[in-house]
Every structure is written in C-alpha cells, then in structure tokens.
Structure 1
Amino acid sequence: MESTTLALIHAAITEDVGSGDLTSLYFTPENSRSRAEIVAREPGVVSGAEVARTVFLTIDPTLEVEVCLPDGSSFERGGVLMKIAGSTRSLLTAERTALNFLQRLCGVAAQARRYVEAVKPHPVQIWDTRKTTPGWRLLEKTAVRHGGGTNHRMGLYDHVMVKDNHLAANSDLPSLQAAIHKLRSERPGVRVQLEADTLDQVAGFLTLEGVDMLLLDNMGPEKLREAVQMVGGKLWLEASGGITLETIKDVAATGVNAISVGALTHSSRALDLGLDLYGS
C-alpha cells in the first residue's frame, strides 16, 4: 500500500481514537470476542476494501479480516463486503474509521459506474479531474478506476493543461508554440493539452506543433460535433463543463474521445454501509 495512504489511515485513526476509545474501554468487557460483517444497505461498487482491512489490522493485528468482495465488484442491498472476527473492543474502535473510508470510496466508484454505463455504446472514456478531497486524491482516483472510469492527470506535475487562466496571461500563438517547444525539449514524455472555449481557438490551436489533446470546455453538442470535424482525428478531444447524467449521452454521441466529470469525486455521496456485530 502507498505510503501516502498508510499515513492517511494513521491520521484518521489518530483523529478518531486519540488517547483511547473510552466507550469500549469502560463498557465492553476486555475478554469479549465477536464476529462482524460490513453489510450494504443499498447497491453500489466496492472500492477501499483493502484500506478498510488495513484500518482493522492497524487497530489490532490479531483481528481476522476477510474481504468478501474485491474492489471493482458490484453489490446489491444486503451484500456482505467484509467479515471480521476477534476482540470486540478492537472491532468497535475500528468500526467508524473503516466505514468512513469504505463508504466514501464505494460512493465514488458507484458514481463512476453510473457515468460509464450512461455513455454506452459510444466508445468514449469517462475521465476524472483534480476536484478531489485534499489528501484523498490517490484513493478517490483509484475508486474512479474501480467504477470503470479513467484517470486524467494525477496533479500539476504529470500532464500539461493550459487552461483559460493561463491563456489570459499568455495567449498569442507564437508564445504558446515557443513554450511547447521548450517543454518538449526539457520534458519530452509529458502530454500537452490546451483548453478551447470557442471554435476559433480550436482552429488556432490546430496550427501548433506538439499538442496532444484539446479540452473543449462548455461547448454544446452542436459545437462539439463541429470541433470533432475540424480536428479530424489529429488530436485527442476531451469534452468538459457541467456535464450531467442527463446530458452525457448527447455529448458522447458527438464523437469526442473523452468526457471529464468533476462530479465523479466532488459530488459523490457516501454509500450506506453498516457494521453488524454478532456474538463469538
């Protein structure tokens, strides 16, 4: 598991447990042992199973943890995602932190799955964005993949995206071309993407060398189709901007290669999962 994820798990446990779980310490017998299941109260897609498992084992390495449904699996209401057995105190101490991770990440995966299903049968990828919970980006983007979506850039360091605010500061084509050449010389493996808000911008960007893809921002289906025709397959085209489950099929039908949806991460709700405790 990534060191950043382990650090997040430890931070979450520290945040919740602090100096100790007083309720379990005083109200749960020390020698009590139990079995527990994490059960779905609604349908969804699994993500975060190994994270939740790590939470339980971090609290108590002697717990027995069985992942019943691996990441990426669909489940229905009543589905059992995980079984845990061991110290009742440990189970109850770990419960909320484990569920917080699992509920949030299953929610992101389920949201991604809904968008992926909505564009069928069009051969278009569903991309996430950088609109993620601070500190959770790796987990949330992994959840998008579990739902069938595709990760766009992980951060500012692995992919160039020249957006509207960059263009507001430096938009003339010769300057853009010079910057692209410099980047290609110094960072040859990095993809270059430019944001276009108008078809005139699309036409201008097609004159540049070294561009890999265009972001077509807030264009309706008609303009998107025009842009697809203008580009003629020379560049990868991403559509973005306020696209919902109700509108995404029309966007997918325009012929763009990818559709980015910030709502995959910034607006996904946590799924309703619960931990049911049984006697040993």
Structure 2
Amino acid sequence: MFDLIKAALKEDIGSGDITTDLIVPKDAFVEAEIIAKENGIVCGLEVAKEAFLKLDKSIKFICIKKDGNNVKIGERVAVIRGNARKVLSAERTALNFLQHLSGIATETKKYTDLVKGTKTIILDTRKTTPLLRSLEKKAVKCGGGKNHRFGLFDAVLIKDNHLCIEKDISNAIRKAKRAGKVEIEVKNIEELKTAVKSGADIILLDNMSLKELKTAVKIVRKISKKKIYLEASGGITKENVKKVAKTGVDFISIGSLTHSVKSLDFSLEVVKCRLESE
C-alpha cells in the first residue's frame, strides 16, 4: 500500500506543486476537514491518512468516522492539521483513494441490503483496478460483502476458456482436485449434472435465467450427497438480485462492485489558517 500511495503522490505532484508553492507561505499552518458530499459508506480513511503522512509525518489526521461507517451529506469524516503546503499537495491523492473505495463500499452495501432475509452472500470478483485489488476487496468487506479468491494462486476456478482446451468436465475436475477444492463454471443444466457427479465442490452458474437457477438448486440438493455450494454470476443488477437470491443459491458474485462503480464524493475544506510564527 505504501509504495502505491508514494507512486500516486509522485504522479500528481511531479516536480512540485507550483501553485501552492508560489502562493502559500512555507510556515502556514492549516486545519482542514474532509466532508461527505453524498450519503454512503466510508472506506479508505487509513489510505487517505497515509497520503498526508507520506509528505509530512508531523501532520495530524484525526478520524471522525471509521471504515464501514455510514455517512450523510455534510458530515465530517476526518480533521487534518499541519503544514498548509503539505496538506494541499496531498489533498487530491488522499481524496481520490477515499472516494473510490467509499464508492465500492457504498455500492456493495446496496446489494447486501437487498438480499437481507436470504442466506445468500454477495461476493466480489477479480475484475479490479490493477494494483488496487487488496484495497478494493477491503472496500467490498466494508460494505458487507465477502471476498472471492484474491488471485489465480489461492483457489481453483475452472472457467469456460479452460474447458475450450480440456473439453471433458470430469477430467478437468479430476486434474484440478490435486490442488484441493474445485470450483467450476457451467452454462447449462447438463454441464451442472456432470460437475456434480464429477465431485465439484462449488459450481458457478453463469448467466442462467431465474428458472434455470431454481432448477439447478433443486437438482444439486436432490442428487448430491455432500454440500455443494452454488454461485450465481452474470447479469446481476439491483433490480434482480433479490430474485436471484431467493432461488436458493449460496453466493452471488458481482463484477460491477469494482469494475465500474461510481465514486462517493468528498471535499477537503480549510477551516483555520495561521502562520506558525504567529
């Protein structure tokens, strides 16, 4: 995270913040507040804090809210006190992280609220911003969701392109079992039945209709002697997520939580300013 923040600051500041350096005295001291401009869920305060501290470790960053808290328009989420030049130079980088991660948390919360009353869990995917995956997955958790596999290294998921090469589902599952539990993506009921009989532990039901999802749940519960988890994915929206959850699937994975989410708007407002020599 620290290298990422350092790189982000370098991208924005470059050779120097020319406007601030020309206008703001070196010994100016400010108190500033980060204020929510929309209702939502806060996430990324620690990242924002580190953006300021990277420029000046003497800056005081006081959290009013915690990651995962609800925030309303006009509420303060943090207070910053320190050298004016450093605070203003770090402002945009800090807010960019905070806004992006809070947007993910807020969107996730909308989905988790919609499936309340069911046993279905909302999952993220690997459709994340390069190098921001760990932060974005934390944001999903702040919104009440759960994390799917982090990368290609920590869980087996046999997808359609794998099956274009190894066309035999049973053989693919048998090979993958050497790594432990196996999840496999299926696109129809016949593939589902084969996956169940071949020992799959988790079955991803890709772009299936509500009718197909209900059928899949019934079949698995009927013919499988062990617990097989079912994950619905593809075409999930806030309009249909509750209906999908009511089919009885265990998980719903949603790529849009991270790949196309709208940021939650925040602003930084200077509320006090003085020269340190005063």
TM over 0.5: yes
Counterpart Cα distance in 1 of 2:61 and 2:188: 54
Residue 169 of structure 1: aligned partner: 165
**8 Å Cα contact 2:163/2:169 also seen in 1:** no
Alignment equivalent of 1:212, drawn from 201, 217, 233:
201
AA aligned opposite 2:165: A
Supply the RMSD in Å over aligned alpha carbons: 1.1
Does residue 158 of structure 1 match 2:143? no
Counterpart Cα distance in 1 of 2:158 and 2:63: 42
Q: Which runs of 5+ in 2 are unaligned?
A: 274-278
Does residue 260 of structure 1 match 2:250? no
Worse overlay, 166-175 or 224-233: 166-175
Residue 111 of structure 2: aligned partner: 115
SS at match of 2:198: coil
Residue 190 of structure 2: aligned partner: 200
Alignment equivalent of 2:133, drawn from 134, 137, 158:
137
Does residue 227 of structure 1 match 2:212? no
Residue 276 of structure 2: aligned partner: none
The 3 A distance-change label for structure 1 pair 22 and 167 is same
AA aligned opposite 2:215: E
AA aligned opposite 1:265: T
| Deviation at residue 174 of structure 1 after TM alignment | 4.5
**8 Å Cα contact 2:63/2:79 also seen in 1:** yes
**8 Å Cα contact 2:38/2:73 also seen in 1:** yes
Residue 232 of structure 2: aligned partner: 239
Counterpart Cα distance in 2 of 1:174 and 1:248: 31
Alignment equivalent of 1:76, drawn from 72, 76, 79:
72
**8 Å Cα contact 2:140/2:257 also seen in 1:** yes
Counterpart Cα distance in 2 of 1:10 and 1:177: 43
Counterpart Cα distance in 2 of 1:92 and 1:177: 55
SS at match of 2:77: strand
The 3 A distance-change label for structure 1 pair 154 and 198 is same
Counterpart Cα distance in 1 of 2:174 and 2:209: 31
C-alpha deviations, 1:133-164, integer Å up to 9, x for none? Answer: 11110000100000000000001001111011
Task: State the number of aligned residues.
Answer: 269
Counterpart Cα distance in 2 of 1:270 and 1:19: 28
Residue 98 of structure 2: aligned partner: 102
AA aligned opposite 1:222: K
| Deviation at residue 24 of structure 1 after TM alignment | 1.1
AA aligned opposite 2:202: M
AA aligned opposite 2:105: A
| Deviation at residue 272 of structure 1 after TM alignment | 1.1
C-alpha deviations, 1:117-146, integer Å up to 9, x for none? Answer: 011111110000000011110000100000
**8 Å Cα contact 2:125/2:148 also seen in 1:** yes
4+ aligned runs moved over 3 Å, structure 1: none
Residue 147 of structure 1: aligned partner: 143
Identity of aligned residues (%): 43
Residue 84 of structure 2: aligned partner: 88
Residue 24 of structure 2: aligned partner: 28
Q: Which runs of 5+ in 1 are unaligned?
A: none
AA aligned opposite 2:99: Q
AA aligned opposite 1:101: F
TM-score under structure 2 normalisation? 0.94
Residue 38 of structure 2: aligned partner: 42
Counterpart Cα distance in 2 of 1:29 and 1:22: 13
SS at match of 1:206: helix
C-alpha deviations, 1:57-108, integer Å up to 9, x for none? Answer: 1111111110111111011101111100111111100100000000000000
SS at match of 2:197: coil
Counterpart Cα distance in 2 of 1:58 and 1:24: 17
Counterpart Cα distance in 2 of 1:195 and 1:53: 40
Counterpart Cα distance in 1 of 2:88 and 2:170: 63
Counterpart Cα distance in 2 of 1:19 and 1:234: 58
